[in-house]
Amino acid sequence: MGESRTSAGEIVLVQAVMCEDLQELIPQNPTTVFSIERRKAICFTSFDPVPQKTIIYHQWFHRDQTSARIKLTLKPPRWSTFSSIQFRAKDIGPWRVEIIDSQGNILDVIRFSITE
């Protein structure tokens, strides 16, 4: 769950983490397991530098099935962004989020589980 640094092109991913909440863009209770009672999970990513305005994707998978592909915009000189999902009863199980740049390169993969 520690910081993940992957460079792809010009942007550099300096942090990618799953957390229960954000307080002023600071991840709260980073974890790999979410109780379904918590109702949501947040994928937080931080990039430095961001030379120019670009886009990235957070692609959410429940097991190997895509659940959501969320488009996010990054702006110079550095940028933090996040996406989240709301839990449903059928979402229990292993998940992963792939951080993908505008060229389709996978910058990082974060794995977590939704449990009872």
Partner 1 sequence: MDRVIYLILSLRWQDIIDISLVSYILFRFYVLFRGTNAFRVLIGMTLLWFFQQIAVSMGLIVTSWVVQGVVTLGAFIIIVVFRNEIRTVLLARNLKFIFWGGRSKKVISTIEIIVESVLEMARRNCGAMIVLPGKEDLEEVIQKGIPWEGEISKEMILSIFWPDNPVHDGAAIIQRDQITQVSAILPLSRRDDLPFYYGTRHRAALGLAEATDALILAVSEERGDVVAAQDSQMKVIKQRRRLEQILQQHMGTAAKKSRESIKERLTVITAALFSIIFVTGVWFSVSKGVDSLATLEIPVVYMNRDPAMEIVKTSANTVSLELEGSGALINSIKPDQIQVKLDLSKSKVGPNPFTITRESISLPPGIILKGVTPPVVDVDLDVFIKKELPVQIDWVGKLPDHLVLTNVTIKPETVEIIGGKRMLEKLSTIYTGKVPLNNLEDKGAITANLALNPASLKIAPGSKEKVSITYATKLRDQRTNN
Q: CB-based contacts of 104: which residues, under 8 Å, 6+ apart?
A: none
What is the smallest separation between the CB atom of 95 and partner 1, expressed in angstroms?
A: 9
What is the smallest separation between the CB atom of 76 and partner 1, expressed in angstroms?
A: 31
| 21 vs 48 by CB, closer to partner 1 | 21
Cis omega (within 30 of 0) for bond into 77 = yes
CB atoms closer than 10 angstroms to residue 8: 18
| 67 vs 73 by CB, closer to partner 1 | 67
What are the residues binding partner 1 (CB under 8 A)?
Answer: 1-2, 20-21, 23, 28-33, 35, 38-39, 61, 63-64, 93-94, 96, 109, 111, 113, 115-116
Measured CA to CA, the distance from residue 77 to residue 112 in angstroms comes to: 30
Residue 86 contacts residue 70 (beta carbons within 8 Å)? no
What is the smallest separation between the CB atom of 72 and partner 1, expressed in angstroms?
A: 22
